[in-house]
Amino acid sequence: MSSLLLALTLFAAPVNLVPNANFAADPTGWNLPRQVTLDTTVGHGDQRSLKFHNADAAAYPMATYPLPLVPGRLYRFSVWVRTQGVTGEESGATTCIEFDGPKGWLGGAYPSGRKGDADWFQVVGDITLPDEATASHLTLYLRKGCTGTAWFDDVEVIEVLPPPLSAYLERPNYRGRVPAGTDLPDAVVRVRVGRNLAGDRTPADTQLKLSLAVADRNLRTVDLVPTGPKVTMKLPLGKLDKGYHELRLRLLAKNDGSQLAAWDAPLNVYDPKDPPLAVDIDDDGYCRVAGKRFFPLGLYLGGVKPEDLARIAAGGFNTIMPYGSTDGGDAGVKARLDAVAAARLKIIFSIKDLYHGTEWSPKEITAPAEADARAEHYVTTFRDHPALLAWYLNDELPVAMHDTLAARYRRVATLDPSHPTWSVLYQVNQMEQYVDTADVLGSDPYPIPDAPAAMAGQWTTLTAAAKGPWGPIWQVPQAHDWSVYKKDAKPHPPTLQEERTMTYQRLAAGAQGLIFYSWFDLQRDPGGFAPRWQDLCIVADEVNNLMPWLLSTEPAPDLKLAPSNLKTVYARTWQREGQTLVIAANGADQPGRVGWTLPAGRTVRRLSGQATWTGEAVELPTNGAVALLVEGK
């Protein structure tokens, strides 16, 4: 299959933003705590490095360096590290970049480090600064609670330039599929013109030409002179005959018409009378199974036990995503898929570890070609199983792997045209750089107890914005207690109210699927499995009660909602058979509200959650969420 999207091949700028990166001179400009000194006897390639020694697990010293980073741009950072006797619960010696906004800390990128005794190894991370970032800094450190000695050397922070042209096909929104013989909506292409153009040109020195073509013949063309680095182009499709068509985008020099870059994407025009695909994505971004809308409501699992499947199905869930999808050889996989089908569940099949050199890659895989072959084997062997819903391609792998991820997506889509792919990221500020690596994207904010519950809606909003108004997103709500991972953390699982608001925020912000993390963490919850499972089943039952509206194909009603704070309060409406569903959710540690104006004669009925309302507003308590049904003419 030809690429749906332009591979965002990244070219690194040669300028290191950290001067004196090998500490050949004194570390001027660094903020060094007393635990960090300049070592003139040990280095990576020479005899100089920063030596970090921490003997007190309660201390948390950091060596920081301010950086002149520009919001909206992508940066890659790295450092070489050597460790001796590093111990603790966290990942050990590492680096990070953090950024602040007008009100303080906004976020950062935190690659894992190492513990124990290790010779020189490199830690690498990527980060895209959000628009609201006002300051940033690089940090060298031992993770919280870690003790021991580490040396840091050859620090590097470089800007990664985008290619001259990148594009993403927002509509048609699923692999370029459109039905023949019907009036089609415009094709919508999101375009970015890079800054590294031949002849020192700027985007203003170029023009874009988007064409619909069959073979060597252009059917229609639109031109656009970009007014900035990012633009959206629309091209009328009209009625098309069955067969292969192509969208062709060309970046041309304005002065002489020479071609600077190109992008092509297929349009697969199919006969609407053909049987529906086993699973696909419709024009509004909803999953369909055999042509009928399906809302994945599921759980992450480790392995799969038949008795667990029965309990999960009885709890109101319809989907599982087991990390151990490939365990047990082909016979084991076949038996597992059969058990999933017998339980009337769907499976998102994980091949996310089959990338050579990644942390969880099987040890027997010694080359990229072996990883590719292993992934292709599972796809071709099990693509026709009725339990299969989608392929899980990526769990938080870095944007530095973009080309590998995009190539894997294209290969899986070619081998299995009948099932979508899904990838989940925590890198929400880089989400747009992953849009061509999977059909469906998701993000996994886990805020409780250290961050406001509104993080659920905020990350969903960012994920939806990256995929576009027709792009599908399946989100990952937190169901676990962080104390099962952090030994020094006090137990604090999400309460029922927190679980509900995080779930409802995601629905209001555009999620078309929810896969909770995780079944195996509930098994080891400090408060016991039963109460946590009961809360999760309550939320699942509420979502299932809302499903007829969530999956409705009717246009949204003309009932305007006005959240009091767009970053902490989320609200949305759905319409079905004359009834309007309103979901409102507050993720703040103070009350919130959603303004509305109810037409005369309408009645309001609460379906689930907590709120009070008048004809002017819905009043939400702290972390409150509600589903309301508006009826009448």
Determine the pLDDT at residue 527: 94
Residue 29's nearest CA partner among 59, 63, 79, 71 is 63
Q: Which residue has the tokens 């002017």?
A: 616
In this structure, are 415 and 374 located in the same domain?
Answer: yes
Pick the more confident residue, 298 or 599: 298
Helix segments in 210-355, DSSP class H: 306-314, 329-342
Last residue of a domain, one of 550, 576, 599: 550
pLDDT of 233 reads 97
Same domain membership, residue 157 and residue 171: no
pTM: 0.90
Checking if the pLDDT of 2 tops 80, the result is no
DSSP E strands: which ranges in 46-111? 49-54, 62-67, 74-87, 93-101, 104-109
369 lies in the same domain as 318 = yes
- What CATH number corresponds to the domain at position 580? 2.60.40.1180
355-394 pLDDT per residue, tens: 998 989 999 999 999 999 999 999 999 999 999 999 999 9
Average pLDDT over residues 144-156: 96
Q: Does the residue 141 lie in any domain? A: yes
Residue type, 208: L
State the CATH number of the domain containing residue 343.
3.20.20.80
**Is 351 within the bounds of a domain?**
yes
Residue 247 belongs to some domain of the structure: yes
CB 143 within 8 A of CB 123: no
Is the residue at 108 inside a domain? yes
**Is residue 281 included in any domain, yes or no?**
no
Same domain? 489 vs 525: yes
Using a pLDDT cut of 90, give the percent of the chain over it.
Answer: 89
Amino acid letter at 478? Answer: Q
Asked if residue 514 and residue 392 are part of one domain, the reply reads yes
CATH of the domain at 184: 2.60.40.1930
pLDDT of residue 11: 40
Q: Which of 348, 345, 351, 347 is nearest to 378 (CA)?
A: 351
Domain final position from 500, 525, 550:
550
Mean pLDDT score, 194-199 = 86
* 473 and 511 Cβ atoms separated by less than 8 Å: yes
pLDDT in tens, 432-445: 999 999 999 999 99
> Of 126, 161, 196, which one is at a domain's C-terminal end?
161
Is residue 163 over pLDDT 60?
A: yes
**Within this chain, do residues 587 and 462 fall inside the same structural domain, yes or no?**
no
Task: Quick: pLDDT tens for 502-554.
Answer: 999 999 999 999 999 999 999 999 999 999 999 999 999 999 999 999 999 99
Q: In this structure, are 312 and 433 located in the same domain? A: yes
Mention every residue, 6+ apart, whose C-beta is less than 8 A from residue 337: 347, 382, 385, 387, 388
Q: What is the mean pLDDT of residues 487-495?
A: 90
Owner of token pair 């953090």: 98
pLDDT higher than threshold 60 for residue 321: yes
Whether residue 212 is found in the same domain as residue 322? no
Does the pLDDT at position 307 exceed 60? yes
**Domain contains 277:** no
Average pLDDT over residues 48-72: 95
The pair of structure tokens assigned to 374 is 């292993």
| CATH, residue 120 | 2.60.120.260
Sign of CA dihedral 269, 274, 277, 283: positive
| Cα-Cα-Cα-Cα dihedral sign, residues 503, 506, 510, 511 | negative
* pLDDT tens digits along 201-230: 888 899 999 999 998 889 999 999 998 889
20 and 89 inside one domain: yes
Is the same domain home to 543 and 593? no
Q: What percent of the chain has pLDDT over 70?
A: 98
Neighbours of 496 (CB within 10 A): 15
Cα torsion through 277, 283, 285, 286, rounded to 10: -50
- The residues facing 253 across adjacent strands are 206
> Coil, strand, or helix at residue 89?
coil
Identify the band that residue 199 occupies on the pLDDT scale cut at 50, 70 and 90: confident
Task: Render pLDDT for 580-594 as a digit per residue (tens, 0 to 9).
Answer: 999 999 999 999 999
Q: Residues 357, 505: one domain?
A: yes
Considering the chain, what is the average pLDDT of its residues? 94
Q: Looking at the predicted structure, is the pLDDT value of residue 260 above 90?
A: yes
SS3 543: helix
Q: What is the pLDDT of residues 266-280, one digit of tens each?
A: 999 999 999 999 999
In the chain, the number of structural domains is 4
276 falls within a domain: no
Owning domain of residue 239: 165-270
Asked if residue 3 belongs to a domain, the reply is: no
- One domain, residues 452 and 502: yes
**Do the beta carbons of residue 132 and residue 102 sit within 8 Å?**
yes
